[in-house]
A and B are shown apart, each in its own frame.
Chain A
Amino acid sequence: MATIKPGMMRRPSALRPMAAITCLIILVAFQISGCSTTKPPTETLASAELTMRTAVEARADELAPMDLQRAREKLERSKKAMASGKYEEARRLAEIAQVEAELAEVKADAEITRRAADGLRQAVDALRQEMERGMVRGTSTGTPKE
């Protein structure tokens, strides 16, 4: 009994700093990892893929090739990260692919609308000029046809 007692006396006091340090290490680890239990970002990736297809439908590979290529790259990298279990990285890459594909899509839409507006403006100008010429020549030649 006499030999055990000093050991028992020593133990708790030696354990306390050890326990404190262990707690600290766990806390720091949690802080660094962001206390996240990461799940595979299946839905995010599926949504990015869908937006990608929408962008292709909007003719983005012809009208916004750079942006679409950027999105496609991120999507591929996201899939690779997903396959190797890096879910956090996969989620971020899929989210980036999503916005880049959306950007490619609206750029393609904007380009199509701009071209349509330009074409219409030119047609209207040409028509107006034709009408003015017709008026100068007089009414005998008739009004220009549409």
Chain B
Amino acid sequence: MRSDWFFGNASLSATAFGLLAFFFAGCATVRNPALDRARDAYETARRDPGVAGRAAVALDKTRMTLEQAERVWATEKDVSEVEHLGYLAEKRAEIARVTARQRLAADEILGLRPQRE
């Protein structure tokens, strides 16, 4: 009776095993909304030929942040960190879009110039 003041030895091991399995294997099928949004933002930017052609570096930075978020989600399941990285990836995708817009306007200036001369 003394040895199982909390749990029987067998059920204790079972609980421990269950908890460990939960933490390490995690709930692999659970989706993270922030990560989904970041993936969407990256995919949309990547498919836009204007963005892919004019803001490749900003797009690369977006992909790297997204990959980091995916890694943290897959290994540590740290929800708040994944949400944080997802937000950063979304902002990076927006930076890529705006950069592309800026370069498009710059191209327009270069295209207009010869007509003036």
Contacts and interface: CB of A to CB of B under 8 A. Distances in A.
Contacts of B92: 99
Contacts of B7: 17
Give the interface size bracket for B toward A. Answer: 35 or more
B116 A124 contact: yes
Contact of B116 (A95, A107, A127): A127
A124 B115 CA distance: 7
B91 A103 contact: yes
A106 interface: yes
A49 to B, nearest CB: 17
B40 interface: no
Judged by DSSP, the binding face of A is helix
Q: How large is the interface on A (under 10, 10 to 19, 20 to 34, 35 or more residues)?
A: 20 to 34
A31 interface: yes
A106 B98 contact: yes
A128 B112 CA distance: 12
Given A24-B19, A109-B102, A99 B88 contact: yes
Interface in A89-115: 92, 95-96, 99-100, 102-103, 106-107, 109-110, 113-114
Contacts of B2: 10, 13-14
Contacts of B106: 113, 117
A102 B61 CA distance: 12
A110 B76 contact: no
Interface string B71-115: 000001010010010011001101100110110011011001101
A13 B8 CA distance: 11
A120 B116 CA distance: 9
Contact of A106 (B3, B9, B16, B102): B102
Interface string A74-101: 0000000000000000001001100110
Contact of A110 (B4, B91, B105, B109): B105
A110 to B, nearest CB: 4
Contacts of A31: 23
B81 A16 contact: no
B12 interface: yes
A26 interface: no
A4 interface: no
Interface in A41-73: none
Interface of B: 2-7, 9, 12-13, 16, 19-20, 23, 76, 78, 81, 84, 87-88, 91-92, 94-95, 98-99, 101-102, 105-106, 108-109, 112-113, 115-116
